[in-house]
Amino acid sequence: MAFYYNPQSLILATFILSSIFLISLSEATKNGGVTVDLIHRDSALSPFYDPSTTHFERLRSSFRRSISRQYALTSASSFKSVSESPDSFGATLTPIGGEYLIKIKIGTPSVEILAIADTGSDLTWTQCAPCTQCYKQNSPLFDPTKTTTYRNVSCTSQQCQSLGAESSSCDESNGCLYQVSYGDSSYSNGDLAVETFTFDSSTSEESVILPKVVFGCGHNNDGTFNETGSGIVGLGGGAVSIVRQLETAIGGKFSYCLTSLNSKFSSKISFGPNAIVTGPNVSSTRIVQKSPDTFYYLTLEGVSVGNEALAYNYIPNSNSKASVEEGNIIIDSGTTLTFLPNSLYEGLESTLEKSINGNRVSDPQGLFGLCYKLPSNGEFNAPPIIAHFTGADVKLTQENTFVEVEKGVVCLTFALTRSGHFW
């Protein structure tokens, strides 16, 4: 997996089975290919942008969802790729409370939906009519009776068996039922089916049609989902994900470029050959294969603040260097904050406190550990942090590590992990 970071440019993360690349958007466009927008829910570019909410309210919402997300439960599965798929396509991402929405079309004739693009889960699902229980959404529910390409999956099929016994069951007609749940008590239950998916390119007039994509048609869904989204597009490493279903066709390659919340540029996601990035500013670190295979595991060896290096297994006042477990952190498009284990976080916080000349204050809402009062001139100075991955050092500037969480209060956007390690 590879990282390139330039705080003044757009960042592109490319997943290629065993590696990830981050590079400026200008470098990536040299390779061509179909690309689609990613839309942040709270961005002014979002069709569901709510100007009545304040900047700080939107931040707090994304932080709380990021913390809840640590407990997410995902299912792993395996089945064959869709051979009819094209080798390159893309989509737009829309920001949504720390998450990004992707616009896709389902069915024949097609119906447009917005769903959360999630590298931390596998199964793609959308709310379907009729609904036993559905959370409120702005767009109409997907109706499988109004499309000619919808087919339920048999309970004895490879696709159903790949979900595993804990995530699947059979109905009276031998149809496959799925059940997925998340740590924040959100869930989706319904029929496992195949359907035609269509992606409209944001860089050209072409559309890409993907037949027989396995997905969940949810008739019983609830939790902390926002009404702007209609479900989830699973981009994880498990075989039920879109990436794995199309692995042969797209070569296991996809990339995404996430812009800042206030950027005038849209975030992008690309699949296939156009996701490949090259150039002098590209560095690489390996993705570690671990269980569950949903997650993209990286190896974080430590962090540095100025000249002081803190190993992943940081031991205060010790020169000893403990071995680092491979795959000790994951990269997740649906998580806003960076979560670190107790020893490393405490070492980072302590080192930063010694380096920052400021008035430390408590976070009024208790979400963050290291906060400061913003000086009257609006200038807060913090040293850069370097994250050391295997073979790749990522320099994080102040705009990446401290944020004004409410008027006059800036806080470190790293937090203690509660379950697993997230980046």
Place of tokens 């359907």: 195
Q: Which of 37, 42, 118, 122 is catalytic?
A: 118
Spatial distance between the Cα atoms of 412 and 402, rounded to a whole number of angstroms: 5
Task: Render 309-334 in DSSP notation, one character per residue.
Answer: EEETT--TT--------TT-EE--TT
118 is catalytic: yes
Task: Dig out the tokens for 263 from the structure.
Answer: 């950027």
Instruction: Please state, as a whole number, how many other Cβ atoms lie within 10 Å of the Cβ of residue 30.
Output: 10
Amino acid at 329: I
- d(Cα 290, Cα 307) in Å, to the nearest integer? 33
Q: Tell me the three state secondary structure of residue 218.
A: strand
* Dist CA 215 CA 196 (whole Å): 10
Look up residue 206 and give its two tokens: 């072409």
Tell me how far CA of residue 183 lies from CA of 126, 187, 217, 238, 277, in angstroms: 19, 9, 21, 19, 35
| Strands 253-258 and 19-24, bridge-based pairing | unpaired
393 is catalytic: no
Looking at 191, 200, 293, 332, which residue is catalytic?
332
The CA distance from 322 to 13, in Å, is 30
Residues 6+ apart with CB under 8 A from 404: 56, 374, 410
With H, G, I as helix, E, B as strand and everything else as coil, classify residue 23: strand
Please give the positions annotated as active site.
Answer: 118, 332
